[in-house]
């Protein structure tokens, strides 16, 4: 089995949504690159990244955070 950790980005921060509702975003890390490194330090080789703002807007919004990762 291969597990893929995920980072969902909203306003440049790592968040969790409840039932896909952007208004319920809970920030769990202000630094997406640090979160990616933490996953790497745990032995993960792959990462699933979602630009939530971009998904709702229809164009990339968190490209700086993605680039930092």
> pLDDT tens digits for 7-58?
999 999 999 999 999 999 999 999 999 999 999 999 999 999 999 999 999 9
Give me the pLDDT at residue 62, please. Answer: 98
Give me the pLDDT at residue 11, please. Answer: 98
Domain coordinates in residue numbering, the chain: 6-68
Could you tell me which of 7, 4, 21 has the C-alpha nearest to residue 56? 21
Residue 60 binned pLDDT confidence (cut-offs 50, 70, 90): very high
To which residue do tokens 């440049």 refer? 12
Contact 45, 54 (CB under 8 A): no
Give me the pLDDT at residue 48, please. Answer: 98
């Amino acid at each position: 089995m291969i597990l893929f950790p995920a980072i969902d980005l909203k306003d440049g921060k790592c968040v969790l949504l409840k039932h896909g509702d952007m208004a319920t975003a809970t920030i769990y890390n202000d630094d997406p690159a640090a979160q990616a490194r933490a996953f790497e330090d745990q032995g993960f080789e792959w990462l699933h990244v979602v630009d939530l703002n971009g998904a709702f807007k229809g164009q990339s919004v968190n490209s700086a955070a993605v680039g930092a990762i």
